[in-house]
Structures are given as structure tokens and as C-alpha cells.
């Protein structure tokens, strides 16, 4: 029997080994036999095995060639389709086809935020997802207005999905042990009215400007984004019904949506 592939630091690999936690993740995802199930970062296949005990076939994206080869040696392609590449290079829409994706994943910490943004942009290809993040990132995803964790990620992800924090996972559930606590989250897409496709780019621009210097007021940050034009910044904020004296963390998501609709192209 060949040895299991070793974790690679450059991919931020921490393999989930706790069977109790794995069972809770599968139960939270509740995949159906005819659903289009995708696993991101299967690693050595602990969650993969549990998913395949529930559904007849899944796809899995794995960037590590040794892990991809290991998974192919364990399962026939009729059960497991291994896509050996970076998840950020994969089109969720192409994978979904006519059947939206049901996604599970223990995300490497170094790509968790880019993957979250990918989910926002390609949300129409997603039916639901259960994903594990570093607890700090999960806190940003679910933060409330007025807190230090509230920011662009909160607003964008929260407009695209209803995100629930399900439970935390201690470092001992992984090999090797990470130095942080992880959190499992469940993502359910909102309807397109909450974040129309045409609004994503201007909303990103507005959030980048508003949170550029967190300790500065909205007025100062918007002014800087508008080439120092204080009059234009005041007029734009007034039209959006926003108090320029506030900091960005005090503005609810709806305020940024209104500002994005008015933002000059």
C-alpha cells in the first residue's frame, strides 16, 4: 500500500481527520443523489469518502498533483471526477451546466477570500455551499454593521448569499494542526435583486474607496477616490442619503448599494 501524500506548506494544506466533524459537514450540506456535488480541496479524501457514502458521484478540484493521483487511485471516474487545477481557474458555470453546484470544501487559508469572491461573482451556478474558513475570515463574512470585522467582504458576500456560521473546529481536528480555529459556514444564494450582475463591479469600486482608510470619514475617502473633488463627493453622498461624517463601518450594505448605483462610470 503506497504512503499517503505529505502536506505541502505552499498550498496551505491542513487535512481534516476528525470523523465526527466530517459527518457534521456532510449533514449540513445534505447532498441529494441527483445533485451536482463539487468538493474544493479534497486533500487525502476524508470528506470525499463521506460524501461518496451519500451520493453516487462527485467532482473534486485538487491543485496538488500527488493528491490528485492518490484520489484517482482510490475511486473510479464514475464515482469521482478529479479536476487537477487551481480552483480560481475553474468556471463554476461550466461545471454546473444545467444543474447548479452543491459545494463542500475545507478551504486552504491562503485562498479563502479569493474563493469567497469567486462564489459571489459566479453565484448563479451555485445551489448552496458548506465551506470551512479560518474563524477570523468567517467573522468578516458574517460581521454586523459598526464592528471592526465589518468590511467589503461582508457587504459583497452578504448581498449574494445568506451566510450562517454553523460551528467552530479546533486545531486538533486536522493534520498537521493549524495555528488557528476554523469555522464551518453555510451559504444559500439570495435572489438576483439583492445583487444584480451589473452592480458587482461598481459596488466593488465603492467599497474599495469607502474602506481605503478605515479611520477616515466617508467624505474624505470618497473625495480621495474622486480625485480630491470635495464638492463632487459631498453632492454624491447627499444624493445617496449618506452622512459623510460617518466612517464606512457605520454604513449598512443598503447604503453602499445606493452609492454604487450613483457612482460615476
* Span 128-159, pLDDT tens digits: 999 999 999 999 999 999 999 999 999 999 99
* Span 107-116, pLDDT tens digits: 877 889 999 9
pLDDT at 13: 66
Q: How confident is the model at residue 1 (pLDDT cuts 50, 70, 90)?
A: very low
Please check the confidence at residue 237 and state whether its pLDDT lies above 70: yes
Percent of the chain with pLDDT over 90: 88
- What's the mean pLDDT when you consider all of the chain? 94
DSSP-assigned letters across all residues of the chain: -PPPPPP-GGGT--EE--HHHHHHHHHHH---TTSEEEEE--TTSHHHHHHHTTSS-EEEE---HHHHHHHHHHS-TTTEEEE-S-GGGS-HHHHHTTS-EEEEEE--GGGHHHHHHHHHHTGGGEEEEEEEEEHHHHHHHTPPTTSTT-SHHHHHHHHHEEEEEEEEE-GGGEESPPSS-EEEEEEEEPPGGGS-HHHHHHHHHHHHHHTSSTTSBHHHHHHHHTTT-HHHHHHHHHHHT--TTSBGGGS-HHHHHHHHHHS--
pLDDT at 5: 57
Sketch the domain layout of the chain as residue ranges.
Answer: 9-194, 197-262
* Span 249-263, pLDDT tens digits: 999 999 999 999 999
23 compared with 109, residue with greater pLDDT: 23
pTM above 0.85, yes or no: yes
> What is the CATH architecture assignment of 9-194?
3-Layer(aba) Sandwich (3.40)
Domain 197-262 CATH (choose: 1.10.730.10, 3.90.950.10, 1.10.3720.10, 1.10.8.100): 1.10.8.100
* Span 24-62, pLDDT tens digits: 999 999 999 999 999 999 999 999 999 999 999 999 999
Please check the confidence at residue 11 and state whether its pLDDT lies above 60: no
Amino acid at each position: 500500500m503506497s504512503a499517503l501524500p505529505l502536506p505541502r506548506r505552499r498550498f496551505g494544506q491542513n487535512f481534516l481527520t476528525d470523523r465526527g466533524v466530517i459527518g457534521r459537514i456532510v449533514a449540513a450540506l445534505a447532498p441529494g443523489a441527483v445533485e451536482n456535488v463539487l468538493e474544493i480541496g479534497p486533500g487525502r479524501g476524508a470528506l470525499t469518502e463521506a460524501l461518496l457514502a451519500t451520493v453516487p458521484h462527485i467532482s473534486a478540484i485538487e491543485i496538488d498533483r500527488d493528491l490528485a493521483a492518490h484520489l484517482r487511485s482510490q475511486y473510479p471516474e464514475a464515482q469521482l471526477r478529479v479536476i487537477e487545477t487551481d480552483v480560481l481557474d475553474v468556471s463554476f458555470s461550466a461545471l454546473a451546466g444545467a444543474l447548479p453546484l452543491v459545494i463542500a470544501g475545507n478551504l486552504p487559508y491562503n485562498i479563502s477570500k479569493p474563493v469567497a469572491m469567486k462564489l459571489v461573482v459566479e453565484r448563479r451556478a451555485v445551489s448552496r455551499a458548506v465551506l470551512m474558513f479560518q474563524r477570523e475570515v468567517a467573522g468578516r463574512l458574517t460581521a454586523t454593521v459598526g464592528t471592526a470585522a465589518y468590511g467589503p467582504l461582508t457587504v459583497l458576500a452578504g448581498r449574494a448569499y445568506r451566510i450562517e456560521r454553523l460551528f467552530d473546529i479546533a486545531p486538533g481536528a486536522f493534520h498537521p494542526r493549524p495555528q488557528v480555529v476554523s469555522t464551518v459556514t453555510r451559504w444559500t444564494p439570495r435572489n438576483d435583486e439583492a445583487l444584480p450582475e451589473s452592480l458587482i463591479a461598481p459596488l466593488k469600486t465603492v467599497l474599495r474607496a469607502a474602506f481605503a482608510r478605515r479611520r477616515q470619514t466617508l467624505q474624505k475617502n470618497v473625495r480621495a477616490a474622486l480625485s480630491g473633488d470635495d464638492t463632487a463627493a459631498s453632492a454624491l453622498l447627499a444624493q445617496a442619503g449618506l452622512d459623510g461624517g460617518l466612517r464606512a463601518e457605520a454604513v449598512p450594505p443598503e447604503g453602499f448599494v445606493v452609492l454604487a448605483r450613483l457612482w460615476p462610470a
